[in-house]
Structure 1
Amino acid sequence: MNGVVEAGQAPSTGPGRPASPRRWLPWLLAGTVAWAVLLAALTWTSVRDDPPTVREQRTLTEAGPVVDRAVGELFAAAGDTAVPTPPEVERGCRVTPFAEGATLTRGVDVFVPVGSERELLERVADRLPGSWRAGVRVTSDDGPRLRADAGEFVTVSGRVDADGRVRLTADTGCRPVGDGYVAPAVGADGGQAEALAGALRALGAPAGPAPALLGAPCPAGGAVRTARAAAVAAPASPAAVLAPVAGVPLLDTAHAYAYRRGDVVVVADLSGDSVVVSATTGCAA
C-alpha cells in the first residue's frame, strides 16, 4: 500500500499517536476533586490538633487565661510590694485588612527604693520560668528593659515607669475578639477589704465606691487577690498618718508607702497628686 490511504478510509492512529484529550478529562477532574478533599481534610485536622502558628489563630477569649497566669507569675517573682493593675482591653486594631480585633494588657506595678529598679527587673527575670527565656537588656535610650515570652504569643515586658516604680506587663497583641475577655473571679476577700478600709480611714478618706477587686492565679496554686480603692485626696504627710496602722513599714519612700497587716500587704501609691491604696493577698512562698 506504500502508506497510501484510500479515499473514504479513516487513517489508523497507530501505536505512536496519543489518545484524544477527551479520554483523560474525567480522570483529571476526579484527581482534582480528590486532591481538594484531601487538602480540606488535612487543613481541618491541623486546625483541630496542631498548636497555633500565628497570633491570629487565637482569640482574645482563648488568650485571656494565658495573660492571667502570666500576671500570677510576675506577681510571685516581684515580691511583697507588687500591685496588680486593672486589665485593659483596647479595641480597634486590625487583625487583617478586613477584620477588627482587640488587645488585652494586664500589668503589675512594683514599688522599690529609687535606684534599685534595674535590680528588681533582673531579679524578676531570674525568677520567671526558664521556658520564657526572660532577660534584661540595658540601652542608653530606654534604660533597662525586661523581655520574655509567656507562650501562646503573649509577650511579657518590664520597664522603669517612674522613680521607684517598675511596670511589668503581659499583652496579647492584636487578636480576634471571640467572646471577649472575662477576668478571673475573685473569691472571699481574705482580709483585703478590712485592711484597705483601715488605710483609707487613716488617710481621712470619705466613704467612696466599693473597691475594684482584681485576681490572678498563682504558679503553685491559690490566687492573688487585690482590693484597690479609687484615688483619694492626699494629706500633707500620707506616710505620717499611715504610720500608726502600719507598724514597721515594708517600704517608706517619697513615692510609695507599704506595710503588712497579717497576710495582707497594703501599698499606698504616693507618686501623684492623690493617693491610690491597694490591699493584696499574694502568692504563698
Structure 2
Amino acid sequence: MSGAAQAGYAPPTGPREPTPARRRSHWLLAVTVAWAVLLGVLTWVSVRDDGPTVREQRTLAQAGPVVDRAVGELVAAAAGDRAVALVPDRIEQGCTVTPLLDGATLARAVEVVAPGADPRAVLTEIADRLPAAWRAGVRVTGDGPRLRADAGEFVLVDGRPAGDGRVRLSVRTGCRPVGDGYRAPAAQGGPEVAALAAALRALGTPAAPAPVLVAAPCPGGGGPAHTARVTLDPAPAEPSRALAPVAAGAVLFDATEGYAYRQGPVTVALAGTELTASTGCGG
C-alpha cells in the first residue's frame, strides 16, 4: 500500500477527541468538588445560624439556667451546721465544639467549710439529699472520695475535698457554643453585705475591696441564696479573738482551718484569706 493519502481522506492533524469515559471522569470530579464546597458552606451557615439539634450543641446561654438550678440544689443539700458559700462563676474560653466552631465551658461551685468532719461523710450526706434523678453517688479513688452526679442536659456535678476542712462542689457544662453568653443570676446587696461589713470592722479591715456578690436560685422557687465575699491580704492573725464579739456566742466552729458564726439568717465564715457572708436556701 502506498504512503500517499487516499483521496477524500484527511489525516489527523491534532490530539484525539476525548473518549466519553474521560469526559465523564472530568464531569464527576467537578461535581464532587462543587458538592464538597456546598457542604462546607451549608455546615458553616448551620453552625452560625441554626438552633441546636442535639443537647451537646446548646449554648452557654441555654445551659446557664440548668447550672444555676444545680448550684441551688447543692446549697440546699449542703445546709446544716456548716458554712456554705457560693463561688463566682468561671468561663473558660478556647475549647472546640466542631472543627468550624470554638466554644467555652461554664463552671460554678459551692464551697462547704466543715473543719474536723470526714470529707467522705460530708459528700455522702450531700449526695443522699440531691434529687434522685441525678443518680448521685460517692466513691473512693486514689485521690480521695469523689461525688459524681448528672444534673441533666449534659451538666455534670463533681464534689471533692479541697483541703483545710473544705469540700468543693463543682458544676460544669462541658464545651458549648457561646451563643449570647452566660448571664449570672442578679445578686443584690442584702443582710449578707451588712454582716460582711460588720466582720471586716471587727477584723480591723473596713477598707477591704468591695465584696463580690454571687446568687443562685433555690429549689422549689425559694431563695435565692446569696454570698458576699472578699479576699483579705494578709489573712488575719487571730480571727477568733477579733470576731468573737460580733459572733455573740453563735459560733459554728472555731478551728485552725477557719472560724464561722451565725448572725441571724447569715453565716459568716473566714477560711484562710477568704471571708464570706451567705444566706442559704430556707434562710
- What is the TM-score normalised by the length of structure 2? 0.77
1:197-276 matches, within 5 Å, as 197-220=197-220, 221-246=222-247, 247-270=249-272, 275-276=273-274
**Partner of 2:99 in structure 1?**
97
In structure 2, what is the Cα distance between the partners aligned to 1:265 and 1:252?
A: 14
**Partner of 1:125 in structure 2?**
127
Kept in 1, the 8 Å contact 2:200–2:208? The answer is no
Unaligned runs of 5+ in 2: 1-49
**Partner of 2:151 in structure 1?**
150
Root-mean-square deviation (CA, aligned residues, Å) is: 1.9
1:3-22 matches, within 5 Å, as none
**Partner of 1:106 in structure 2?**
108
In structure 2, what is the Cα distance between the partners aligned to 1:258 and 1:185?
A: 26
In structure 1, what is the Cα distance between the partners aligned to 2:53 and 2:140?
A: 32
Identity of aligned residues (%): 58
1:46-195 matches, within 5 Å, as 53-55=54-56, 57-79=57-79, 80-139=82-141, 141-187=142-188, 189-195=189-195
In structure 1, what is the Cα distance between the partners aligned to 2:281 and 2:53?
A: 31
What is the identity, as a one-letter code, of the residue corresponding to 1:165? Answer: R
What is the identity, as a one-letter code, of the residue corresponding to 1:75? Answer: V
Task: Choose 106-115 or 129-138, whichever is displaced more.
Answer: 106-115
Q: Deviations over 1:89-124 (max 9, x none)?
A: 000011112211000000011011234211110000
Aligned residues: 231
In structure 1, what is the Cα distance between the partners aligned to 2:115 and 2:266?
A: 21
Secondary structure at the counterpart of residue 268 of structure 1: strand
Q: Which runs of 4+ in 1 moved over 3 A?
A: 51-54
In structure 2, what is the Cα distance between the partners aligned to 1:78 and 1:254?
A: 22
Kept in 2, the 8 Å contact 1:76–1:219? The answer is yes
Q: Deviations over 1:110-150 (max 9, x none)?
A: 011234211110000000000000000112x1210000000
In structure 1, what is the Cα distance between the partners aligned to 2:211 and 2:127?
A: 31
In structure 2, what is the Cα distance between the partners aligned to 1:238 and 1:168?
A: 26
In structure 1, what is the Cα distance between the partners aligned to 2:124 and 2:253?
A: 20
- CA separation of 1:206 and 1:59: change in aligned 2, threshold 3 A: same
Give, in angstroms, the shift of residue 209 of structure 1. Answer: 2.8
What is the identity, as a one-letter code, of the residue corresponding to 2:217? Answer: P
What is the identity, as a one-letter code, of the residue corresponding to 1:150? Answer: A
Secondary structure at the counterpart of residue 244 of structure 2: helix
Kept in 2, the 8 Å contact 1:71–1:216? The answer is yes
Give, in angstroms, the shift of residue 259 of structure 1. Answer: 0.5
Kept in 2, the 8 Å contact 1:101–1:174? The answer is yes
Secondary structure at the counterpart of residue 83 of structure 1: strand
Secondary structure at the counterpart of residue 92 of structure 2: strand
In structure 2, what is the Cα distance between the partners aligned to 1:206 and 1:264?
A: 19
Q: Deviations over 1:66-109 (max 9, x none)?
A: 10100000011111411110100000011112211000000011
In structure 2, what is the Cα distance between the partners aligned to 1:86 and 1:54?
A: 25
**Partner of 2:277 in structure 1?**
279
What is the identity, as a one-letter code, of the residue corresponding to 2:265? Answer: D
In structure 2, what is the Cα distance between the partners aligned to 1:226 and 1:115?
A: 23
In structure 2, what is the Cα distance between the partners aligned to 1:78 and 1:52?
A: 35
Secondary structure at the counterpart of residue 146 of structure 1: strand
- CA separation of 1:259 and 1:115: change in aligned 2, threshold 3 A: closer
Q: Deviations over 1:142-200 (max 9, x none)?
A: 2100000000100001001113110000000000000111000124x331111001111
In structure 1, what is the Cα distance between the partners aligned to 2:275 and 2:190?
A: 17
Give, in angstroms, the shift of residue 264 of structure 1. Answer: 0.7
- What is the TM-score normalised by the length of structure 1? 0.77
In structure 2, what is the Cα distance between the partners aligned to 1:163 and 1:269?
A: 8
Give, in angstroms, the shift of residue 233 of structure 1. Answer: 2.4
Secondary structure at the counterpart of residue 76 of structure 2: helix
